[in-house]
Structure 1
Amino acid sequence: MSQVFEGYERQYCEISANLTRKCASAGLLNGEQKKQKVSEIKGGLDEAESLIRKMDLEARTLQPNVKAVVLTKLREYKNDLNNLKTEIKRLSSTDSQAARDALLESGMADALMASSDQRGRLLMSTERLNQSSDRVRQSRMTMQETEAIGVSVLEDLHQQRQALLHAHNTLHGVDENVGRSKKILTGMSRRMNRNKWIIGSIIAVLVLAVLLILYFKLFH
Structure 2
Amino acid sequence: MATLIDNYEQQYAVLTADITAKIGRISVLNGSEKRPFIQDVDRELEEAQELLEQMELEVRGVSGAGRDRLRGRVESHRAELKRLTQEFETAKKPKSEIVDLGLEESWNNGITEEQRKRLLDASERVDRTGRTLQNGYRMVLETEEIGTQVLKDLHDQRETIQRSRGRLRDTDAELGRGSRLLSGMILRALQQRLILAVVTLVLISMGCFVIYYSFKS
Output the TM-score relative to the length of structure 1: 0.54
Q: CA deviation at 1:50?
A: 1.9
SS for the counterpart of 1:169 is: helix
Give the letter for the 1:208 counterpart: S
Give the letter for the 1:57 counterpart: F
Which residue in 2 is equivalent to 1:57?
37
Which residue in 1 is equivalent to 2:64?
none
Give the letter for the 2:158 counterpart: R
- For 1:78, which of 56, 81, 84 is the aligned residue? 84
Q: Alignment identity in percent? A: 22
Q: CA deviation at 1:190?
A: 1.1
- Mapped pair 1:136 → 2:133: yes
Give the letter for the 1:133 counterpart: G
Structure 1 148/118 Cα, relative in aligned 2: closer, same or farther at 3 Å? same
Give the letter for the 1:164 counterpart: I
Give, in whole Å, the separation in 2 of the partners of 1:197 and 1:207: 15
- Mapped pair 1:121 → 2:118: yes
Which residue in 2 is equivalent to 1:197?
194
- Mapped pair 1:150 → 2:154: no
Matched residues, number: 151
- For 2:160, which of 151, 163, 168 is the aligned residue? 163
Deviation track 1:126-155 (CA, whole Å, cap 9, x = no partner) reads 111110000100110111111111111111
Which residue in 1 is equivalent to 2:185?
188
Which residue in 2 is equivalent to 1:24?
none
Which residue in 2 is equivalent to 1:34?
none
Structure 1 205/217 Cα, relative in aligned 2: closer, same or farther at 3 Å? same
Which residue in 1 is equivalent to 2:214?
217
Q: Which runs of 5+ in 2 are unaligned?
A: 1-16, 52-76, 89-97
Q: CA deviation at 1:48?
A: 10
Q: CA deviation at 1:217?
A: 1.9
Give me the CA root mean square deviation. Answer: 4.4
Which residue in 2 is equivalent to 1:96?
none
Output the TM-score relative to the length of structure 2: 0.54
- For 2:170, which of 170, 173, 177 is the aligned residue? 173
